[in-house]
Amino acid sequence: MAEDVLTTVMAFIYTIGHWIGDKIVGIIQSAAGIIIPPSIVDAVGMLVILSIFLSIAEVARKAIWIVVSIGWVLIVLRIAILMIG
């Protein structure tokens, strides 16, 4: 069962990657006026998916650091208030 789910997810990612790669290669071909071999379509699509994933992970990483930093500031502020008052 787990293999079926993994196969389905990987097939979905491959399909999306192929579709995105096809669109990007089509845009490059029409803009540059060159013919790009079809074997590059999948590689371009997978790189786009990886780039999107990494950018999302980077944004999430920054957001997590902001939340942790605010948490530490609030903890230090709470301790300071307890010491003063």
If one counts the domains in the chain, the total is 1
pTM of full prediction above 0.85: no
Q: State pLDDT tens for residues 32-80.
A: 888 888 889 999 999 999 999 999 999 999 999 999 999 999 999 999 9
Q: State pLDDT tens for residues 15-33.
A: 999 999 999 999 999 998 8
57-68 burial: b if 16+ Cβ within 10 Å, else e: eeeeeeeeeeee
The residue segments making up the domain with residue 20 are 2-84
Residues 40 and 16: beta-carbon distance below 8 Å: no
Q: How confident is the model at residue 10 (pLDDT cuts 50, 70, 90)?
A: very high
